[in-house]
Every structure is written in C-alpha cells, then in structure tokens.
Structure 1
Amino acid sequence: MTTTIDSQDKLDSKRADKRTPGKWRSWETTEGAIRAPHRSMMKAMGLSDRDIANPFVGVASTHNEVTPCNSGIDPLVEEVKRGVLAAQGTPFTFGTITVSDAISMGTEGMRGSLVSREVIADSIETVVFAERYDGLIAVAGCDKS
C-alpha cells in the first residue's frame, strides 16, 4: 500500500498527538514527516539524528554578571551537559533572570525581589513546557536563583 505525503502527514500527526506509553514528550516535536520543520531547526543548531532521537533535557542556567553568586555557574552547566550526554540525553541550555537582594536592598528595587521568584519559576516552566523537554536540571547560585 502506498500513501501520499499528505495522508502520511495526517497519520504522523495523529500518532504524535497521542500520548503513547513509553514515548518521550520531546517526540511530539521530532516524529514523522509532519515534524520535518522542527527537525530542520534542530539540525541548524548542529544536532545529529542521534541527538534528536535521544530524550531532551533542559538545563536552566542562572549564569549572569549581576551578582557574584551566579557569575561562576557556566563551568557547572558544562559539567551538567556532559553528564546528560553521558546518560544518552540531549541537553539544551537556557537562561532565566536574576535579582540580587544584596544589591537592591534598601531601594525601591527591592520590590522586585519576591516577584522575581515567580518570574524565575514561570520562565523555566514555560521553556520546559513549550519546548517539550523530557527532563530538567536547574543550576542556581543563590537562594532564588
């Protein structure tokens, strides 16, 4: 039996939309002909077919130059990525915000402190959800970030 590309895309779309037991959530972005544009974006970042077939692990990094608590995080993030690769996962690093209470203390900027906790959590959760990551490792340097 032969199928046209259009009918194959419809079949792939139906398969990808189902939550098949044992499948990684990231497969929603990589399986079938209908997901070729998704894979082309991944290939443009240098990922191989094998990388794309592995579970996707988000690595949230709070590295920044706002506070000394977070300025040295990059080497830790690189170690985390090596660990994910060793476990046959594909790491994707992304960042989030930082607010330093020590710097904003005693100023109107301190009003951003408590809300920053929610912004940090929401931003990480949004990336993991939207990109369909299968796991998350967060690397932080302070009480909030």
Structure 2
Amino acid sequence: MAETFGFELVSPEKLLLSVDAEMVTVPGDAGDMGILPGHAPVISSLRLGVIEVTKAGGGEERIFVAGGFAEMSNNKLTVLAEEAMPVADLKRDKLEAKLKDAREDLADAKEDHAKARAQAEIEKFTAMLEAAA
C-alpha cells in the first residue's frame, strides 16, 4: 500500500473533505504544488483553480477553490478555502449566465469598488468554466 497523509478541505460553511491521500495538487499563488507524504512544512496562499486529490487506495476528487490558504505540517495538509465546490457540480449553462451578468455589472459600474468586485466575479466565473471543461 502506498504511503498516505491526512488531507482536509474546509470552507467557511463546513468541512468539505477529510481523507487519507496519496497526493494532492493545489493551485498555489506561485504555481501548482504537488504534495506527497512527508512533504516539508509549507504555507501558501491559493489562487483560483482546482485541487486534485488522489485518495488512498485509488479514486480521485477534483474541487474548484476560489482562493484561500494551504498548510502542510506533520504529514497533514489543510486547505482553508474562501469558496469551494466539486468540479462535477459546476454547470456550464449556469456559469455562462453568471459570467454574462458579471460582465454587465462591470459595464454598468460607476465606482471603483463596484468595478473591482465585478472584475473579480468575471475572473472567478471564467476560471470555473475552464475547470468545468
């Protein structure tokens, strides 16, 4: 049996996943990081992207995250995600509609904070569509 380590994915609402993993790839701000058992301690902020989990004994999970932090220590990886959802739950038609709305919000925005919020939503829904492809 392959070596494993503990992996937990937590969102503001709840614990989304708690498994023994053989490997986890996280979308770090400096690039994707592959985490294996015995990985050196590390803390990284996360960008929009997909966490790929290879579970102990086989099976994979793909979860979209919209920012957060990852910490590996004592052979356990914990991801605190600002927002997370399984890639399988991403529906193209709904995401395309939300992206269209965000683009309209950006076009209508008069104040800088409203423009920034709309631009962030555009980036998030674009990344979600890429993950769903």
The structure whose RCO (Cα within 8 Å, separation 6+) is larger is 1
Structure exhibiting the larger radius of gyration computed from Cα positions: 1
Question: More helix by proportion, 1 or 2?
Answer: 1
Do the structures match in fold with TM over 0.5? no
Structure 2-normalised TM-score? 0.28
Question: More strand by proportion, 1 or 2?
Answer: 2
